[in-house]
Chains A and B, each alone.
Chain A
Amino acid sequence: MKRVALGLAWIAAYLLAISTPMLLLLAYATPGRAGFWWDFSMAIGFSAAAMLGLQFVLTARFRRLSAPFGIDIVYYFHRYMAVFAFLLLLGHWLLLRLVYPESLGAADPREAPLHLSAGRAALLCFALLVLSSIWRKQLRIAYEPWRLMHVLLSVAGLALAVVHLQGVGNYSHLPGQALFWQIFLVLWIALIVYVRIIKPARMLRRPYRVVQVRHETGSACTLVLQPQGHDGLRFAPGQFAWLTLRASPFVFREHPFSIASSAATSRQLEFTIKALGDFTGTLPNIRAGELAYLDGPYGAFSIDRVDADAFVLIAGGVGIAPIASMLRTMAERGDRRPVLLVYANRHRDGVILREELESLRARLDLRIVHVLQEPQSLPGAEAGLISRELLARVLPQQRKALQCFVCGPTPMLRVAEQALHALGVPMRQVHSEIFDLV
């Protein structure tokens, strides 16, 4: 309940922050007959600026801010808001271009006033920002260069927008309007200092050392991290952290991974990772003794956040990592609540942690259903993919009180979520984590 209240408070604060420039305009509205679309265009321009400034807050990873929603949802919101704010900017410019073309003057930056060129350049920055984020994979931009580009374009875009706002100076005489933008600018710079300098410095002071690299079945490997000179981090089973390897925390070459180890003994942390992408492919080369940095824990995907009599855990491939943490934690806590694990893979050899999962059955009230596309490789396995029919067959009859956790590739996630809902599990009891953000 407290979490819901906090969530609503954050939403209210966000809405207030982005509508403040417009509320100030409304409070001191002085009919000027500049034209309806002129004033509309100005208003959406201001709002877009406020929204784009707040985009940095959404991805600053404030744990308290993201806790009620789960940070994946906050990132999702960041993405939606980016598109909307960009459309507002585009609308702001288009309206002027179409209805009041004389007000824009020459587009050539050699002739145009500086603040109008700044506005055009800002629009271009944000266009590149949105396009490169939505179609990062299609454009074949690797994650790390993309991230650097994202930061540079967003800071440049907002700085240009500030030049534009200052230069145009519309409505800036209104009481509160100038003050609002000054406060906004100061907060924005403070935020960049916090995210880019203070936070990495804090991470640098709390290093971890890779003490073991374990090769798992299914071309996965497990990194075991030991905190150096501090007591590590406390997390809830199912949460994740941003991991930095072979780089300083200041260069932001970090990647999010689920913590796979038990939350009951949190000094050593384990990350079980499959070599899939450009970064994870290099992981098997990591040697024991190397330094690592962590930013975390994050995420709302945890059995500790719900009251339940029984759990259904559904994993696909490396999606087993957070679920392994849940099972290991339950085993160490002596938690005997019934658990059904449905674990989908292509082939027996791809089943990560298969033997350990098997051995956990002795310490938990655990039933495991393996779902394999090549089922003949593992006796007793279900054939095919996770589907509604399959879940209908293996799920317990009493489904109203089940708490379900689903982690795996997006198509599997969709199918499992819809199937669970159709089979009588209330939607709010189906939990998942959205991984593929950009």
Chain B
Amino acid sequence: MREKLARRLALLTALLILGLAWLFADLQNPRTATAASSSATSPSSASAPGKAPSGATASQGAEIFVQSGCTRCHSVAGQGSRRSPLDGVGSRLSQAEIRRWITSNKAETDLFVARHADLPLSEAQRDALTAYLMGLRN
């Protein structure tokens, strides 16, 4: 009977933790904004983090950047995981290098092996993503 106290407290803790985790995940992924961006006429809407580089291809690339979950590891202008910020990547790397980061797969064992880079993207999508990243300049 006394263990009921421990059980209730454990349940309370569990609910608190799950509630907070839910709240955090919800705040990190605002549903209203996503809906707005997908329904917006221009695909270059607010969903693209950072200063939107000009050009339709680049804004398409920004969309791909978000959709592919790149922000799990990368951030642009403070959005996403700041473990590997990509601000100014367009100034640091050449277009060819950026393309290799995106397309390289695990079979390649040189410096360009990015962990999640082997994305199932079409040629056009890769071009768009590269264009977006090239536009991120200091």
The number of inter-chain residue pairs (CB within 8 angstroms) is 140
A70 shortest CB reach to chain B, Å: 7
Q: Interface SS of chain B: helix, strand, loop or mixed?
A: helix
Known: A44-B18, A47-B20. A76 touches B115 (CB 8 A): no
User: In the bound complex, do residue A43 and residue B25 qualify as a contact, i.e. CB atoms below 8 Å apart?
Assistant: yes
In the complex, which of the residues B5, B83, B115 contacts A169, with contact meaning CB atoms closer than 8 Å? B83
Q: Which of A145-153, A250-258, A330-338, A427-435 contacts B (4 or more CB under 8 A)?
A: A427-435
Q: Does B71 contact A (CB under 8 A)?
A: yes
Interface positions, chain A 42-84, Cβ under 8 Å from B, are 43-44, 47, 51, 69-70, 72-74, 76-77, 80-81, 84
Known: A77-B10, A417-B1. A31 touches B81 (CB 8 A): no
Residues of A within 8 A of B (CB): 11, 14-15, 18-19, 22-23, 25-26, 29-40, 43-44, 47, 51, 69-70, 72-74, 76-77, 80-81, 84, 88, 100, 102-103, 105-106, 111, 113, 168-173, 417, 421, 427, 430-432, 434
Contacts beyond the supplied A113-B115, A427-B1: 11 A-B pairs with Cβ under 8 Å: A30-B78, A32-B71, A33-B34, A36-B25, A40-B22, A44-B17, A51-B13, A69-B5, A102-B116, A417-B1, A434-B2
Known: A170-B83, A417-B1. A34 touches B29 (CB 8 A): yes
User: In the bound complex, do residue A430 and residue B1 qualify as a contact, i.e. CB atoms below 8 Å apart?
Assistant: yes
Interface positions, chain B 53-85, Cβ under 8 Å from A, are 66, 69, 71-72, 75, 78-83
Residues of B within 8 A of A72 (CB): 2
Residues of B within 8 A of A69 (CB): 5-6
B22 shortest CB reach to chain A, Å: 7
Q: List 17 A-B contacts (CB under 8 A).
A: A19-B16, A22-B20, A30-B78, A30-B80, A31-B30, A33-B28, A33-B71, A33-B80, A34-B81, A36-B28, A38-B72, A39-B24, A40-B25, A44-B17, A51-B17, A77-B9, A432-B2
Residues of B within 8 A of A51 (CB): 13, 17
Bound-complex Cα distance A72 to B5 (A): 11
Task: Kindly list the 6 A-B residue pairs having the minimum CB-CB distance in the complex, ordered from nearest.
Answer: A80-B10, A43-B21, A40-B25, A76-B6, A39-B25, A32-B80
